[in-house]
Structure 1
């Protein structure tokens, strides 16, 4: 069996492959379709995932794969790779450079390794359980902030939170020393690197949060659902990331009202 460093080397290669493929489509002429939930899917999403799947089929033919665009194969296997080829398709379509590539390696359903790639920025965040997190090969770690009123808070999917949880949205607007609105994976990557202290996110899929979970935890952070429960393939897509246990506890209190 390969050791974790070997999996990490393969993950880095796939991130490079995905970044090169995504940059080939970015700010170009894209064919766009809309899924049943009206979220857009482009040639880039399908093309990037196809290339990553081809790599996995060559190097790990006995592993399962869970991809956003091309479905699930062997989800019951011990080793499963999870792929979000373009995390932030709406950003990608609008020429906004903060779209990402997400890749996770699960063993018995538990994330052991995660990649947050930012193709337009030339950044690759890699986290391995028990071995720490890196940005382009250099170690990164979360901040030491323990109080929300002294923290930088990012609110992801704020329009959806406002629509479905207006009272929580109002509390969020009065929280943090500094707050920002965003979408997609990059705020969680910034948290892993110590620039952001807390992120609340909403309406995600497993391919959105499980790769990110591996990076945040490897960097020393905490990431759960809104009830404080561990994230899994069956989680409901409501997510909190925090730099410290104390800050995470305060975020849970904020969510509960």
Structure 2
């Protein structure tokens, strides 16, 4: 079914609820722990996801939920809310406001709505299939990039790539104008606003990328996996975002050298 104004309003309220849980913990007591996969988690992550889940259960009891911290709650509507309360927990614990809350609505495995919310800077990107992306309520647009050598590339960390993928990323890195490290989901908002040209990542999970797709594509960009296929619930986590869709073939060609 099409995304409704009610869906959008609920997504906005989810972001508001997450932000209200996160802000008191920022640069304050956040209760750091290490999960089984060695990634950090804080009270802010858990409290923000809990606040969002409670809202969804109260208002959309038939919808499913998939959250980074509390897993999957099955639904019966064919719709699923995918939540990452703090994408960029390492930035959060370092007091750097370049993390974000990610909220996606997925229908039959495809992202149809996405929010990237930075609750400290109070910056919010909203993307909905069939609509233009907004940044704090105003239209957002990617920028054109005439050739790969003009591009500003970003990734969170080369340490997150597998060996073959790292080799491919380095091949791409050698062909662009400059590369920025760090940023997590904030990089994709920067692509949607025309501040960055390309983001390339490896090893992402559904909660890491589902919300990003409607945001980037609604601003005029394109997202895909490293084979050029659209991103969906079954994608393996190799992610490309390009502000200018005309550069996708150049990016994918550079990444083809993995493992060589």
Fold conserved between structures, TM > 0.5: yes
Match of 2:31 in 1: 31
Match of 1:176 in 2: 176
1:46 paired with 2:55, answer no
Cα drift, residue 223 of structure 1:
0.5
- How many Å separate the matches in 1 of 2:165 and 2:140? 33
Cα drift, residue 30 of structure 1:
2.0
- In the TM superposition, 1:99-178 aligns within 5 A as 99-161=99-161, 165-178=165-178
Contact 1:124 1:135 in 2 (8 A): yes
Cα deviation digits, residues 37-76 of structure 1 (max 9, x gap):
1001111111000000111111111111000111101166
Cα drift, residue 165 of structure 1:
3.7
- How many Å separate the matches in 2 of 1:133 and 1:188? 12
Q: Give the 3 Å change call, closer, same or farther, for CA 130–3 of structure 1 in structure 2.
A: closer
Cα drift, residue 163 of structure 1:
5.0
Contact 1:80 1:107 in 2 (8 A): yes
- How many Å separate the matches in 2 of 1:255 and 1:203? 15
Contact 1:106 1:113 in 2 (8 A): yes
Match of 1:80 in 2: 80
Q: Give the 3 Å change call, closer, same or farther, for CA 58–145 of structure 1 in structure 2.
A: same
Question: Unpaired segments of 5 or more residues in structure 2?
Answer: none
Counting matched residue pairs gives 257
Contact 1:66 1:75 in 2 (8 A): no
Cα drift, residue 230 of structure 1:
1.5
Contact 2:62 2:75 in 1 (8 A): no
Question: Unpaired segments of 5 or more residues in structure 1?
Answer: none
1:185 paired with 2:185, answer yes
Contact 1:18 1:48 in 2 (8 A): yes
Cα drift, residue 178 of structure 1:
2.3
Match of 1:13 in 2: 13
- How many Å separate the matches in 1 of 2:218 and 2:169? 29
Q: Give the 3 Å change call, closer, same or farther, for CA 71–195 of structure 1 in structure 2.
A: same
- How many Å separate the matches in 2 of 1:53 and 1:83? 9
Cα deviation digits, residues 149-187 of structure 1 (max 9, x gap):
111111332223385544324323312122211241011
